[in-house]
Chains A and B, each alone.
Chain A
Amino acid sequence: MQLLIFSAFGVGAVVSALLMVTNKRPVRAAMSLIATMSFLAGLYALLDAHLIAVLQLIVYAGAIMVLFLFVIMLLNLEEKEGKLGGNVILLQAFGMVVVGLLLVTMVSLFQANGSLAAPGDVGAEFGTTKAVGKMLFTEYLLPFEIASVLLLAAIVGAVILAKRRIDDSERN
């Protein structure tokens, strides 16, 4: 049963990711990305990471994707595809080679699959908000605070970027 759900979520995630990458229209790509995020949240829940699954839905499928859609609609993009120069095609060929190497690594991982230890039973506490939160506020308190400072820096940076644009348009 668990394997069935895993396969369903996994195939769904891969298919919607492929749809996203191959799509030319940003809005459709964003919708496919939301589907991928939701499937991944299901996978997290299946892996006993309940807090991470909920966070995935709220932060990614909620906040970040709303931000993406907002920007896409703000920019009101027309669908045009630039012509590719020779250099770019070379670069793409290089990218394909890198991805091919990644795939080879992946296949070797697949062959080593049998040597991976079987998942042990975990306690009922594993992955709950209580357990993760306790860890976050004791052992990882400093990284947690640094993350909050990073978020503050991101807020200030975004505001400054937006403000400079308004100043420029006033000057013109």
Chain B
Amino acid sequence: MLGAVLFSIGAVGVFTQRNALIIYMCIELMLNAVNLTIVAFSRFLNNLDGHVFVFMIMTVAAAEAAVGLAIIISLFRNKATVNVDEINLSKG
């Protein structure tokens, strides 16, 4: 339940915010909501597999945050903005 609420808030954030940094934070929030759900189910099913999965998700989240923030920095150096509406590089 709480996991679903947090995931919804994170999804709203991704769709409404224009700042790339805050969008990243919302993605982290969504990952955390999933983690919470997995841990809760792992507890109710008395099964440790879920903890290993959460461990893996944390690893991926850390890697994703590092690479994503590096991309944001290089974007900012090139375009001097972190507003996702003003970043349209793929138009060529």
Interface residues of A (CB under 8 A from B): 10, 13-14, 17-18, 20-21, 23-24, 26, 29-30, 33, 36-37, 40, 43-44, 47-49, 51-52, 55-56, 59-60, 63-64, 67-68, 71-72, 74-75, 77, 80-82, 84-85, 88, 91-92, 94-96, 98-99, 102-103, 105-106, 109-110, 113, 116-117, 119-120, 122, 126-127, 131-132, 135-136, 139-140, 143, 147, 150-151, 153-155, 157-158, 161-162, 164-165, 168-169
Contacts and interface: CB of A to CB of B under 8 A. Distances in A.
Interface string B33-51: 0011001101110101101
A105 B9 contact: no
Nearest to A23: B22
B13 A20 contact: yes
A143 B73 CA distance: 30
A-B interface, 5 closest residue pairs, ranked by CB to CB distance from nearest: A95-B15, A154-B63, A21-B13, A161-B70, A106-B4
Given A49-B43, A136-B52, A136-B55, A63 B12 contact: no
A75 B51 CA distance: 36
A55 B1 contact: no
B29 to A, nearest CB: 6
Contacts, number: 208
Interface string B1-23: 11011111111111111110110
Given A21-B26, A99-B15, A150-B59, A72 B21 contact: yes
B63 A71 contact: no
Interface residues of B, number: 63
A132 B52 contact: yes
B52 A135 contact: yes
Nearest to B21: A26
B20 to A, nearest CB: 10
Given A30-B25, A162-B70, A17 B6 contact: yes
A164 B15 CA distance: 31
Given A52-B55, A55-B55, A103 B65 contact: no
Contacts of A80: 83
Given A96-B15, A164-B74, 5 more contacts: A21-B17, A44-B39, A48-B43, A52-B39, A136-B55
B4 A119 contact: no
A32 to B, nearest CB: 9
A84 B15 CA distance: 12
A82 B18 contact: yes
Contact of B66 (A29, A33, A49, A158): A158
